[in-house]
């Protein structure tokens, strides 16, 4: 037991202003668990949505947001042998990460490679596994193919840019400001375009020899999604990653039929839980990528635990480029 610790508590489903810092008592470990002193936690758009009651996973208040962390193991249950006190680890979790410590299953944590700092490890896994599951498992992106990434300056968008470049694809990135477009070009995109450009679809086609992109990676949704369908190649694959715009698009079925493109939904975490063998393979691949520093995150904002409300508002205002993190202990 480690006494008391501080945590960000969401007290109502009314957004970031409902999050306050409280002191809570540590609970005894259950069988198979480890306790981690969280050094840094990644901020993700779902964290914001959870405080508003708008995410698929909808915990009732009071709860602690935060779905990703890196830290140091400070206690292990008696029967745990795979993890030791002092180990540097990283993990994703369904909440609880905006806190100075967390108790999780020993099987849920992974070693933090030397290639990643605590800050990088805290915001690496969720974006990396989403990009890998999307581009490898669901779209089977091949070297030499073209990929259109919407919301490319966000966490999952930039991970997709970096991974696609690593896989040998030609990447066309879409980002809303000059600063963001510069960042995605630095991450490996071959081209960076403005989503507000009325000729966006035409520009994408021009960059792909008139054919359109083989794969579209869309964590944004909204009207931009419909624009992107006009920039997809015949027989292309459209990856539905999320709806950061807040609007769920209604895709024209007749257009999908005429161009013979596929609409492919994905949920990287759920897929691994539904298919344990897939989950095991992907976890091993993520360990390989992490050790090599592939998809290393670009971190534009850093916050203290006391600044979690402000951090969530920065997410809401779309000011983050790549990732934002909270440093906790």
Peptide bond into 320 cis (omega under 30): no
State whether 301 and 249 are in the same domain: no
Query: Do 108 and 131 fall into the same domain?
Result: no
Q: Are residue 157 and residue 241 in the same domain, yes or no?
A: yes
Q: pLDDT per residue over 291-326, tens digit each?
A: 998 999 999 999 999 999 999 999 999 899 999 999
Global pTM reads 0.89
Considering the domain architecture, whether residues 79 and 201 belong to the same structural domain is answered as no
In a domain, residue 280? The reply is no
Decide if 248 contacts 54 (C-beta within 8 A): no
Greater model confidence, 158 or 3: 158
Number of domains in the chain: 2
Q: Which of 252, 269, 286 is the last residue of a domain?
A: 269
The two tokens of residue 325 are 């993190």
CA dist 74 and 86 (Å) reads 6
CA dihedral 109, 112, 113, 118 (to 10 degrees): 160
CATH number for the domain spanning 33: value is 3.90.180.10
Residue 285 lies in a domain: no
Name the band, by pLDDT with cuts 50, 70 and 90, for residue 156: very high
- Helix axes of 125-132 and 155-167: crossing angle, nearest 10 degrees: 50
Residue with tokens 């920039």: 231
What pLDDT score was predicted for residue 52?
Answer: 94
Structure tokens at 173: 């990135």
- pLDDT value of residue 20: 96
Domain that holds residue 34: 4-124+297-327
Who has greater pLDDT, 172 or 242? 172
DSSP state of 106: G
pLDDT, position 328: 83
Handedness of CA 264, 266, 270, 272 (dihedral sign): positive
Q: What is the dihedral of CA 275, 277, 278, 280, to 10 degrees?
A: 120
pLDDT score of 246:
81
pLDDT band (50, 70, 90) for residue 119 = very high
Mean pLDDT of the residues in the chain:
94
Is-contact 49 10, C-beta < 8 A? no
Q: CA-to-CA distance for 294 and 87, rounded, in angstroms?
A: 22
306: exposed, middle or buried (Cβ count in 10 Å: 0-12, 13-18, 19+): exposed
Same domain assignment for residues 153 and 120: no
Residues 68 and 142 in one domain: no
Same domain flag for 107 and 44: yes
């Amino acid at each position: 037991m480690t006494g008391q610790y501080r945590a960000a508590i969401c007290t109502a489903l009314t957004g970031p202003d409902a999050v306050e810092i409280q002191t809570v008592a540590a609970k005894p470990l259950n069988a198979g668990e480890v306790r981690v002193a969280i050094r840094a936690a990644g901020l993700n758009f779902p964290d914001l949505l959870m405080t508003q009651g708008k995410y698929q996973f909808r915990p009732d208040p009071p709860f602690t947001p935060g779905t990703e962390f890196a830290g140091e193991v400070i206690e292990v249950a008696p029967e745990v042998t795979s993890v030791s006190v002092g180990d540097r680890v990283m993990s994703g979790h369904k909440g609880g990460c905006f806190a100075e410590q967390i108790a999780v299953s020993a099987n849920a944590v992974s070693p933090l490679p030397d290639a990643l700092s605590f800050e990088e490890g805290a915001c690496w896994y969720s974006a990396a596994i989403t990009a890998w599951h999307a581009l490898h498992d669901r779209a089977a992106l091949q070297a030499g193919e073209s990929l259109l990434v919407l919301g490319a300056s966000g966490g999952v968008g930039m991970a997709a840019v970096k991974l696609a470049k690593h896989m040998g694809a030609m990447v066309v990135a879409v980002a809303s400001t000059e600063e963001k477009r510069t960042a995605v070009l630095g991450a490996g995109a071959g081209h960076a375009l403005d989503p507000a450009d009325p000729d966006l679809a035409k520009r994408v086609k021009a960059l792909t020899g008139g054919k359109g992109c083989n794969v579209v990676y869309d964590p944004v949704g909204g009207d931009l999604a419909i624009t992107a369908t006009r920039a997809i190649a015949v027989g292309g694959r459209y990856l539905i990653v999320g709806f950061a715009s807040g609007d769920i698009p209604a895709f024209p079925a007749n257009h999908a039929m005429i161009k013979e493109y596929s609409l492919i939904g994905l949920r990287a975490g759920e897929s691994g839980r539904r298919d344990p063998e897939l989950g095991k393979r992907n976890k091993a691949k993520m360990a390989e990528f992490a050790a090599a520093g592939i998809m290393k995150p670009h971190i534009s904002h850093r916050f203290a635990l006391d600044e979690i409300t402000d951090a969530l508002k920065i997410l809401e205002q779309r000011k983050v480029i790549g990732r934002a993190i909270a440093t906790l202990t």
